[in-house]
Amino acid sequence: MSFKNKFLGEGDRSLYDNATRDEWRDRISTLDTLDAAAAELLDFRAKHIGAERETFDLEWDALWIEAELESRVATLRSGKYVGVALLETCACGTPASQVVSALRERIEAAGTDQFALEAIGAEMRRKFKPPIIPVNYWLEIESHLSERLMIARAKIVDIAAIDIEEWREKRGFTALVAGHGNAMDAVLR
């Protein structure tokens, strides 16, 4: 289902609607169980969202599609769980308190290792970001992780003095476009 934007000319591409979004909108509307919708959302996040994504094919539409999938999961989740269960149970059926306890243990085990904490954060956002886990539990564990990351990062005295290539190597980062890094390099030369 698409709408006609009266301000677009015949050859103009809509910023809000296109064939990719129409295809995904139709695909998402067929998800009729929470298990199927949650699995689709987690698979989509692994393939198309975040630094660890497998492909950039949907770069322009990925966040829109993720939001639509999240909306579908939230709708199905609120239909399956009612009352306290809605606030205490993950979309997969696991008690949210167990998920948070396991994540908290991993965060504590990482100590002040900034890169380990960042890896936990990336995994956490990919696997558990709401509506997979109830928001009340998400906010608790996200703020705990953020606090630990700020403490770990505060130990770096002069972050601007660190070589960009050194940071990339430590994080296992690969530049997709050569020359990207410190934008001031071109200005200073």
Task: Note down the domain range covering 49.
Answer: 15-80
Could you tell me if 110 and 74 lie in one domain?
no
76 shares its domain with 120 = no
pLDDT average, residue stretch 162-182 = 71
pTM tops 0.75, yes or no:
yes
Q: How many domains does the chain have?
A: 2
Claim to verify: residue 108 and residue 156 sit in the same structural domain: yes
pLDDT for 8: 66
113 and 75 within one domain: no
186 inside domain: no
CATH number assigned to the domain comprising residue 152: 1.20.1280
Task: Judge whether 5 lies within some domain.
Answer: no
90 found inside a domain: no
Query: Percent of the chain, pLDDT > 70?
Result: 83
Domain containing residue 74: CATH number: 1.20.1280.10
**Is residue 71 domain-resident?**
yes
Residue 110 is assigned to a structural domain of this protein: yes
- pLDDT-wise least confident of 26-40, 59-73, 81-95, 152-166: 152-166
* pLDDT of 183 strictly over 60: no
Query: Residue 181: what pLDDT?
Result: 52
| Single residue among 46, 80, 114 that ends a domain in this structure | 80
The answer to whether position 1 is within a domain reads no
pLDDT at 159 over 80: no
Q: Would 38 be classed as within a structural domain?
A: yes
Least confident stretch, 51-65, 97-111, 120-134, 155-169: 155-169
DSSP string, the chain: -----TT--TTPPPSS--HHHHHHHHHHHT--SHHHHHHHHHHHHHHHSSTT-S--TTTTTHHHHHHHHHHHHHHHHHHH--THHHHHB-TTS-BHHHHHHHHHHHHHHHTT-HHHHHHHHHHHHHHHTTTTS-HHHHHHHHHHHHHHHHHHHHT-S-GGGS-HHHHHHHHT---SSTT-S-THHHHH-
- Of the ranges 3-7, 135-139, 144-148, which one carries the lowest mean pLDDT score? 3-7
120 and 71 within one domain: no
Is residue 100's pLDDT more than 50?
yes
Does residue 39 form part of some domain? yes
Q: Is the pLDDT of residue 189 over 50?
A: no
